[in-house]
């Protein structure tokens, strides 16, 4: 079974530029998550999708970050314009579902390492 795929693996940009990350979840997984992991910190949830709908985006800086999952499969996360403090690893994860009484375990991709200069 293929895991969660992410690209690119590394990205270096200058501040005020824009950048986009792509994620393809495990086949059949309805729930997709984007996390931001700053060096020395644990991952912080940015946004959660259930199919193509947003379930939780309370910690997404909406003035500069956006994400979409138009067909309920793969997803893109965009930053525009980027700031120095956006330097981090962006992790994508997927799970079968979070609905009902069973919270399914999340499977993580390798992440995209972003450096903003």
Q: In angstroms, give the least distance from the CB of 43 to other proteins.
A: 5
C-beta of 18 vs 41, nearer to other proteins: 41
Token output for 27:
């086949």
Q: Please, which of residues 6-65 interact with other proteins by CB under 8 A?
A: 40-45, 48, 50, 55-56
User: Of 21, 69, 109, 114, which one interacts with other proteins (CB under 8 A)?
Assistant: 109
Interface with other proteins, residue 5, by CB under 8 A:
no
Q: Using CA atoms, how far apart are residues 92 and 112, in angstroms rounded to an integer? A: 9
**What DSSP string describes 40-58?**
TS--EEEEEEETTEEEE-T
Q: In angstroms, give the least distance from the CB of 105 to other proteins.
A: 6
CB–CB of 96/29 below 8 Å? yes
């Amino acid at each position: 079974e293929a895991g969660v795929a992410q690209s690119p693996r590394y990205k270096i940009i200058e501040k005020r530029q824009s950048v986009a990350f792509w994620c393809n979840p495990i086949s059949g997984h309805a729930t997709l998550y984007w996390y931001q992991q700053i060096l020395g910190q644990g991952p912080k949830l940015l946004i959660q999708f259930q199919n193509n709908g947003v379930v939780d985006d309370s910690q997404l800086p909406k003035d500069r970050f956006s994400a979409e999952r138009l067909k309920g499969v793969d997803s893109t996360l965009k930053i525009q314009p980027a700031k120095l403090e956006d330097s981090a690893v962006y992790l994508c994860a997927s799970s079968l579902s979070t609905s009902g009484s069973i919270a399914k375990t999340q499977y993580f991709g390798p992440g995209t390492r972003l450096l903003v200069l």
